[in-house]
Amino acid sequence: AAAGHVGHSVPSGFAKAAGPAVKPATTPFTVPMPLAPELRPVRSTAAFDRYELSVKQADVEILPGQKTPMWTYGGGFLGPVIRARSGRATQVAFRNELPLATNVHLHGSHVDAANDGYPMELIEPGQTRTYTYPNTQQGALLWYHAHSHGTDPEHVYRGQHGFYIVEDPAEAALNLPCGAFDVPIMLRDALFDASNNLVFGGNPADRNVALVNGKPQPYFQVAARKYRFRIVNTATERVFRLSLAGAKIVQIGTDGGLLPAPVEKAELKFSSGERVDVVVDFSQVPFGTGIVLTDATFGPMLRFDVVRRAADTSRVPARLRRLEVLPPATVTREVAIGTDFSQGGPIPVGTINGRPFDHDRIDMTVKRGSTELWNISNADGAYGFTHNFHIHLVQFQVVSRNGGPPAPEDAGLKDTILLPPGDVVQAKVHFTDYLGKYVYHCHFLEHAAIGMMGQMEIVD
Ligand code: C2O
Ligand code: CU
């Protein structure tokens, strides 16, 4: 019989032992929402910008006045923003100062296989690995995170998550809110013990604190004008459903960049790994008041306080970016994500097309240059398990969901697609330049860790 959840990961033992979970007593809207620092290049040449970042243990203030040991990029809760420009390469040298092996994957990146952070290729303690990202893709919020097979749920949960923004001139020319009015936000969950340690393991659904840029229920002081918020869900296993009373949410982009046209959304629904890019206009919110961003599970998450006036020449044009028309698909594939309880034991096996991940096996061979149609299904409808599906290297264009038109959250370029129990999503994907081996998996990281992952090899 199915347990109440799929994912279950055993802690590595390298973190401070945590006591029983408690619900921290915090007062809503008493701390400001922190902003992620920007990483400065250590060197810029005609061809690339080079960055250096340490992966290290640090005591981070999450709960007011308390320290929580974390595994961080650069020492803070939020991995710093690496700002790249479309068409210009970046090199990022990650130095592993943790006592255990790790690696880094740039989620949403279009990159050659050697720089993709393959789950079996690790950076040993004390070693540095430089990844080169070509940024030959349109503007988008990407994010970097640990991707070591079997152990990444704990690494990401303990803090290995950071922002990576690709900017491009076509996007800049649209005059969307920018600079201080373009704010990256990271949402995730956490569970604490009485000494403010993170509790890892067990059912991720039990994590009872939502964190917005690393704080529970912060406030954010805004001017009475338009803001762009680029939001990433870095929880290892969670769906957020956000709504905002008092102002409209206009979605302008998704995982892979801008939508063809802006859409007004009553609710933003997005799962682990997915991004939503939105504009909120605070000019109609009564001056001196606040409006609250609310999640369907956690309740109030973030209060926007309108505290000052500011000029606003930004706009949200009716057309943002044309979605590329892909050639007709020449290959159709079935990809079914599921859970196998037949082995017995407390932890099931995660599968794709009935098989758990095996790094020695190629699950599909894809011809470079081809366009394919993938029927991606959640085969766990009977168990009621939610999954999602993330592919490396490329972005999907969703064609249909359950035989009908795509859901609003399916629009645009998607590298991670939410799959509620029993759902079937049909998506088109085009393989252009790179060859080699890439993984695809459920981005509920506890699920991928127990096998819900496969790999494709792109060949000539
Ligand atoms: Cu966000 Cu395979 O990863
Ligand atoms: Cu899953």
Ligand 1 atom nearest the C-alpha of 453 is 2
- Positions in the chain short of pLDDT 50: 1-3
49-to-36, 164, 194 alpha-carbon distances in Å:
19, 13, 43
Q: Which atom of ligand 1 is nearest to the CA of 143?
A: 1
pLDDT of residue 4: 57
Structural fold of domain 179-308: Immunoglobulin-like (2.60.40)
Contacts of 459 (CB under 8 A, 6+ apart): 365, 366, 367, 368, 435
Instruction: Please give the model's pTM, rounded to 2 decimal places.
Output: 0.97
- Say how far apart CA 69 and CA 75 lie, in whole Å: 10
Position in ligand 1 atom list of the atom nearest CA 108? 1
Q: Would you state the CATH architecture of domain 331-459?
A: Sandwich (2.60)
Nearest bound ligand to CA 160? Answer: 1
| The pair of three-digit structure tokens given for residue 311, joined into one six-digit string | 């000029």
As residues whose CB is below 5 A from the ion ligand 2, the structure lists 387, 442, 444, 447
Task: Give the start-to-end residue ranges of the domains of the chain.
Answer: 21-170, 179-308, 331-459
Residues enclosing ligand 1, CB less than 6 A? 105, 107, 145, 147, 273, 390, 392, 439, 441, 443
State the CATH class of domain 21-170.
Answer: mainly beta
Amino acid 346: pLDDT = 78
179-308 shares its CATH topology with 331-459: yes
Instruction: Report how far ligand 2's centroid is from the alpha carbon of 221 (Å).
Output: 36
**Token couple for 414:** 């998607």
Residues 44-95 have pLDDT tens digits of 999 999 999 999 999 999 999 999 999 999 999 999 999 999 999 999 999 9
The protein residue with its alpha carbon nearest to ligand 1, atom 1, reads 107
What ligand is nearest to the CA atom of residue 104?
1
CA nearest to 33, candidates 186, 158, 250 = 186
Classify 60 in phi/psi space as left (phi over 0), alpha (psi -120 to 50) or beta: beta
- Protein residue closest via CA to atom 3 of ligand 1: 107
